[in-house]
Structure formats: structure tokens, C-alpha cells
Structure 1
Amino acid sequence: MPHTSLPDLLNRALSVLAPGAIVVAYSGGADSHALLHALAHDAQARVRGLRALHVDHGLHADSARWAAHCREVAAALDVSFASVRVDVERNGGTGIEDAARKARMAAFAAQLLPGDILALAQHRDDQAETVLLKLLRGAGPQGLGGMRGLREHEKVYLWRPLLELPRATLRDYAQANGLHWVDDSSNADTHLRRNFLRSEILPRLGERWPDASAALAHSANWARAAADFIDDEARKALARLQGLDPTTLAWRGWLDLPDALRDAVLRLWLRDLGLDEPAHFHVEELERQLRDAAGDRLPCVRFAHTELRRYRDLLYAMPPAPTLPTNWQAQWGGTPLALPAGGRLELSPQRQIENPLQVRYRRGGERIKPAGGAHTRELRLLLQETGVPPWRRARIPLICRGDELLGVGDLYLSDAGESLCRELNARIVWSAGVDSTTRLG
């Protein structure tokens, strides 16, 4: 491969980059210093309003001195500079590396404006480390695709223009330009996973396979292309399988998908709903339960703050439902009433009920004759026949006048309940909690 210089690569990348102010994530290390220096000497970057942003993690005794060094470098380059101090959660359970990354990204998000482009100095060797880490975690094509050169993140862009350059090219540039950078001693701590790969594993691989980092980065490009194709197909499959209620999925159709699509569709569905994504063993357990559980069973797989439940032809996704208080009951005069299961009950338009009604949840044995119906029905059977999932039935508010059941949420009204609504010239509206969005059927 012909040698590419850092300035030439950045000049080409800037010529096709979407409009937006460029903000360099400047740690003070050699890589980010080289990136900032090269961009500061590029007219295209200057005209965009180049600036630098430093995050002080407070994890090292010299962190304040490093922040001061970064400020001095930015001033010498005549680049606008800001430094943000963050508190890193040391006992979060996911490791100090992950905690520092989360704190850093939160600081960036707070400082950037919509449309800003955050320039990150990750290079080809960083990409190789990322691919190995993902491989060791059992990642699929999405993870093995490593870091994207450009991606949107919370209304800003993350730009990694150096992914095709090895670390050595950046160090050569820094030395040729007499740059002085911060050396973080924690980078030598091989108890940290990435440092271990960088110091112990990749050098050994390079001894046997000199182009190991380049090959891993090349494989990441292939995996990224495959992941993008799978994502496109997953979006099409999700559109076919998702129910009118977006929290539902046709589970038989999902099981019939090719292996490459099944996991991707599930994760895409959950991401769109703002729910947690499962580990691979949760997906395997879900597949097993859906294939093996008898038709009258109610399979359920739980992980993090998410539950996946099957009922009839649909798979439902939801956060865990709150526990209902025993024998809860409230007076209701028509104004919005917050419900302990989530959501609320109200009249639309708002009206005042002269003699307040009682609202409670099921206690067993309730019966109602739906307005216009010929027979009084047991509520349990009525809800079952109309397809309300079992875990939702206990969370539907019942509207009563003494012992008389007038309404079941806004699903059913008795003749008396319908008459009351006509008198009030209003209708009952039940805004269900997040686990109860489905109506009849």
C-alpha cells in the first residue's frame, strides 16, 4: 500500500465531510495531539471553526497538569479550547475503562452543539484492538465491524478520520513536528484489557504476522459491510413481523428467519422500543422456550430491565411491571387519576362526576354485561376471548358504583356506564402503562 501522510489523508477526508464545526477530542496524548496539530494547519478545518475539548477524568495525580498542558498547546495553535472535569464511577461493575468512556462521552455530549463533528484520533492499531476485544466477547458482525469512520450520535457526529493509518505514522508526524505530548502511565497497566492486547498480544502477533493489524482492520471493513447489509434486511423483516402495537412481534415468523437475521431483528426491535438488548444466551433461551413450550404455556425471558413474553401468536416486549398494591381502591370524580400500575384514567373532555365512582383492580369473580350485549359475562373469560394477555388483565382499572361494575378501563362499558357517559357528554380514556399498550385483540 502506498504511504499516506497524515495531512494528505485529512485534507481528502475534509473535502467530503458533511458541514459542521470540528471539535477535536484532545486528551494530550501523542495521537490526539498529532490530529489537532494537523487539523490546525488545514485551512478547511480552520474555516469550520476548529476547537479542542479536553476531558479530565481525575483518575491520575497529574490530570490537572495534563489539562493545563492541553490548554497551552491549543493556545499556541490558536485553537479555541475547553476542559471539562468528570467524576468516573469506580464501582459500577463494568470496569474502570468502560466507566471512564461513559463519563467522557457524556461530557462530550453536554459540550457539543447539534451538527458538531467530534474528531477522534483512533487509528488502525486501535481498530485492530477493538476487533480483538469484540471477538473475545463473542460479538457478531456488528461488533466485529469495529469503529465506523463517521456515525451520528445524539445529534452530533463522531468522526474517526485516521482508521486507515497505523500508530507509527502518527508518531512519525509528531516527532517530525517537534510535538510534546502527555504520557499516561496507566497505558502501561496490563490489568486493563485493551492495554494487555496492545502490550502483550498484538506485538506477538506482529512477530509472526507483520500485517496483523492491517489484516484485522481489513476484516473489520468486511464485517461492517456485512453488518450494514444485515441491518437493512433486518429492518425489512421487522416491518413484516411487527404488530400494530409496536411492542409485539409475530414469534413464529421470527423463528423462521435465517440465523443471520433472527438476532439482528430482535435487537433492532428492542432498540426501537428503548429497551435493553439481550446477551446471546438470552436469545438462545428465548428461541428454546418459543420452540418447546406448549401452546397453553406463557414463556418469559427476563434480562436487565426488559421482559419478553409470549401469548398466542405474538411476542411482547416490556419493562418489568410494578407490583400492584393489595386491595387498592380510589375515589374518582372524573379528573385525571394516576394509577399504581402506570398510566391514568380520565374523562375526555374533562367533566366532574357528581357522585364519585370507585376505581380498583380485579379481585376475582367480576362480571359485566357489555352495553348492547344480551348476556352478563364473567370478566375473566371476556378478557381471554378478546385476546388481552394474562399479565395485563390484572392491571386494567375497573370503574364501579358500589358493587356494580360500570366499566373496564376504556375497553368495555355496561349499559349503566354508557348511559353515564352520554349524560356527561364525555368518554372514558385509559392511558395504559408501558406494559399495557395493547387494546382488544
Structure 2
Amino acid sequence: MTAGGNTARRDTWPEDLIGPVQKLPACKELWVALSGGLDSSLLLHVVAAVYPGVRALHINHQLQPNHDQTERACVELCKGLGVELEVRRVSVDTAVGSLEDSARAARYEVFKEVLQDDDLLLMAHHADDQAETVLFRLLRGTGVNGLAGMPTSRSLGRGHLYRPWLGVTRSRLEQVAREQGVSWTEDPSNQSEVHDRNYLRHSVMPGLKQRWPGLLKRVAHTARACAESEILSQRLAELQWQSCGDDKGRIRLAPFSALGQIERRNLVRWWIHGRGLPVPALSGWDSALDQLIHAGPDRSPEILGNGFCIRRYRDHLYLVAEVRIPEAPRSLLPGQLLKWGWWTLQLVPDSLSTTPESSCPEIRVSTRQGGERIRFGANLPSRSLKTWLQEQGVPPWERAALPLVCEVSAAGEAWIAIGDLWCSEQYSGGAHAAGWRLIVERDCD
């Protein structure tokens, strides 16, 4: 640990460090992600000099032998600066994927949990981190979006993440930290070249910087150019969605097939990303989309992604999120919010009713078993549910998951709702007959 003390005074910090901190976006609560290392420790000092009410958040991954020492150092640092500190210990899944990715996922889950509406979380990433990120993504294989590197600002849960020092080099941060006597703790894993990013940092980047002294600025320029290109691609997708998309979140095949191959890929990737889903790294995008467009009516092609798939039905493309459907029927109780696949169901009392909950009829939710018939009115004949769903244009995968709601009484069972497609008059509108109103909403189009 480097020796130092509390130096949090506004007039002691150079302009290139304090200037970006003084220009932060407005926020309700300001946080600094504090790892205990040089970068985040220095950032907390500078931020505390400008914003007395800043709070710090330390995530202890419990992976390094000195993790207790690092946590104590963060506590002492915040105590000396008069900064409120929140410490969260997480368990990192070391059996799935890379350790770096798992630790990052665990860390960001905490960030999302802590941040409230309009909160701002500062991170101390700098120009060297940005260059490493761009090069690392290039070597792994990426598109323009990946080569744009880390954005200065982005949404994170209910709040936002902000990186004020992406234009400052690591050597400059270390120079200022030593001059000001800032204390920090070294992470022993940062020296191990087993991790790819550490290999880039210690064995690749020094040689590149020596050969091309302006490397960091060049990479930053490339990242900005790629970011601008990505913005233009998104804007194009938004414009083309106006002609290809519909109010149900689907893509209409006729105008979509008229687009060029690059435009199709761009629109579909924008579609996936807009739903908060990871875009698949497919090598055969054009071939996969051609199959969706030109497949015969008896075929069911699909593009598989992580947690979703893209399917075709009746001249539309559907983005189908992966969901769990209850295997057995469930009772729907008053005031309960029942999650059922892509739908949520709820029984609420009629605003004019004084009926107690104990008098609510038994309501049961289930899926199709086959052979069901529905009567849509007291004086109407019953109809085959299968035929009716086909007439409504409900895709096959949704028919199997659709929540069917029935009222169970001494007189028998009576269907009162078919997903969000139809609801009996007794349980819709004012619900005067039953005293209860059934609300079925689709929460994932």
C-alpha cells in the first residue's frame, strides 16, 4: 500500500482531473465505484473535493487472498474523506465462463441493485483501459459497436454509469496520485498474464506505445469514429422500422425482404438489442435471414439466440423471448399477480363492489390440453378453441403457452378468459356481475 492521507481539497487537484468531474450530469445521488486500486481511490479523492455528499460502493469479490485487507483499506479511506461507504460481498461463479466475465457480471448486478432513479455511478476507467478494451474486442472479433469501446455514459439499471477520465492516461493518474500522497491497494491478480487483458496490458501495450507514441489518441479517435458509425446505423434502423415494424413489435416480411442484406442485418440486430437481449455472433446472418424470408408455409425456420429466438409466422418475424410456463394449473387469488409466460394475471375488486375476498369464486389458470370448446356468450354456440386461435392469427408457440382462465363453481367449470385475447363480460369492464375484474396483460411482445 502506498502511503498517503486525506488530500480532498478542491484547490489541490490539476485541471485535467478535476475539470471532467466538475462537469458531471445532474443526478439525485452520486456514487463512486471503489475497488481500492489506484484509479478508483484517486477518483474518490477528487470527487469528494467537489461533491461533499458523494457515496462510495465497494464490491468485495472474495477472490484474492488480500480481499479483507482491501476492504479495510476502503473503509479507512472513506472514513478519512468523510465519505459514506457501502460494502457488498458477492459470490462469483467460478465454474461457468471466464473468471473475469463472472466477476464483472456479479459486480454489475450489485450496481443495478443499488442505483435508484436518476442516481449516477462514477467509474475510474481511463485512456489505457479504453485502448485495451478496443484491442481486446478486436482480437475476439467484433463489429463497429464493439470497436466503439466503452461509452462515457450509459444507462445502468434505474440510474446511469459515467466515466469522466476516459481521456486521461494511466501514467498521468499515477503521477498525480504519488504527488498528492494518495493511498491505494494493489490487486495481485493484475500482474498475472493468465488473464487475456493483463497479457495485453503488460506484454503487448508497452511495445505498441513505444513503436507508436500516439497510440492511445489514435485508438480513442478510432473508437469515436466507430461510435458515430454505430449511432448512424441505429438511426437508419429506427427509420426503417417505421416501414417494416408493426404495433405488435413484429417485422413485416414484405418491406423487410425489399431491404438490402446489410440493412436487414442492421435492422434485426437493432431489434434484438432494443429488447435488451444479446445479439448472436452469427457468421451466416444473410443465409439465416434468407431462410426466414423464403421458407415455405410448411417450414418453421428460426434463428437461435441466448434466451430468445426469431421465428416466422404468417408473413411476420417474431422475436420470442424464452419463458417458463407452469406445468400444472394454478389458482388465481384476489390481489395476487400471477406470472404466466409472456402474460401477467390479476383479480381486482370492482370499484363499486363491497364484496369481501372470501366470496371470490375459485379461479383457475391452465394451458390447452386439446379439444377445448369456448362459448363467447350465453346465447352463442360453443366453438373449437383450436380453430378460433388459428382465426385470430395466434402463432403455434403461443397457443401452447396461452393462459386459459376458468371459473370453478358447484355448477361446473366455465371459461372466462383466453389470455389477453378475450374476457367474459362478467370479469371485464365494471365487472358488476362477478364483483371482480380480471386483468390479463402481455408484458413481452
TM-score if structure 2 supplies the norm length?
0.75
Change (3 A) 1:381 1:36: closer
Counterpart among 17, 29, 34 of residue 26 in structure 1? 34
- Of 49-58 and 221-230, deviating more is 49-58
Q: CA RMSD in A?
A: 4.4
**Alignment deviations for residues 8-57 of structure 1 (CA, whole Å, 9 cap, x no partner):** 123432443223354332222222233233344x4xx13x5234333322
1:195 corresponds in structure 2 to 198
| Counterpart for residue 23 of structure 2 | 16
Q: What residue is the counterpart of 2:281 in the other structure? A: 279
Structure 2 partner of 1:431:
440
TM-score (norm 1): 0.76
C-alpha separation between the residues in 2 aligned to 1:27 and 1:320?
A: 35
Distance 1:345-1:289 versus aligned 2 partners, 3 A rule: farther
Q: Which runs of 5+ in 2 are unaligned?
A: 1-11
Residue number in structure 1 paired with 2:397? 391
1:144: Cα distance to partner?
Answer: 1.3
Q: Does 1:204 align with 2:207?
A: yes
- Residue 57 of structure 2 is matched in structure 1 by 53
Larger deviation, residues 254-263 vs 345-354? 345-354
Aligned-partner residue type, residue 43 of structure 2: L
In the other structure, the counterpart of 1:265 is 267
Higher alpha-carbon deviation: 189-198 or 382-391: 382-391
**Equivalent position of 1:250 in the other structure:** 252
Give 1:63's aligned amino acid.
H
Q: Distance in 2 between matches of 1:81 and 1:345?
A: 41
CA contact (8 A) 2:253 2:293 kept: no
Alpha-carbon contact 1:56-1:83 (below 8 Å) kept: no
Asked if the contact 1:346–1:429 (Cα under 8 Å) also holds between the matched residues in 2, the reply is: yes
Amino acid at match of 2:311: R
Which of the residues 20, 38, 43 maps onto 1:35?
43
Is 1:303 the counterpart of 2:305? The answer is yes
Name the CA shift for 1:64/1:296 in 2 (closer, same or farther; >3 Å). Answer: same
In structure 2, do the counterparts of structure 1 residues 97 and 252 end up closer, same or farther at CA, with 3 Å as the change threshold? farther
Aligned equivalents of 1:113, 1:335: Cα separation in 2: 27
The Cα shift of 1:381 comes to 4.6
Give SS of 1:191's match.
coil
* Inter-partner Cα distance in structure 2 for 1:360 and 1:118: 44
Moved more, 229-238 or 333-342: 333-342
2:318 is equivalent to residue 316 of structure 1: yes
**Amino acid aligned to 1:181:** W
For the Cα contact (< 8 Å) 1:89–1:99, is it kept in 2? yes
Residue pair 1:276, 1:306 contacting (<8 A) in 2 also: no
SS at match of 2:14: helix
Residue in 2 that maps onto 1:228? 231
Partner-residue secondary structure (3-state), 1:295? coil
Q: In 2, distance between residues paired with 1:155 and 1:420?
A: 35
Amino acid at match of 2:62: G
Q: Which amino acid in the other structure matches residue 216 of structure 1?
A: V
Q: Structure 1 residues 208, 390: CA separation in 2 closer, same or farther (over 3 Å shift)? A: same
Instruction: Give the 3 Å change call, closer, same or farther, for CA 369–235 of structure 1 in structure 2.
Output: same
Q: Distance in 2 between matches of 1:208 and 1:331?
A: 70
CA displacement at 1:116 relative to structure 2:
3.4
Q: Quick one: percent identity of the two aligned structures?
A: 30
Structure 2 residue aligned with 1:178: 181
SS at match of 1:290: helix
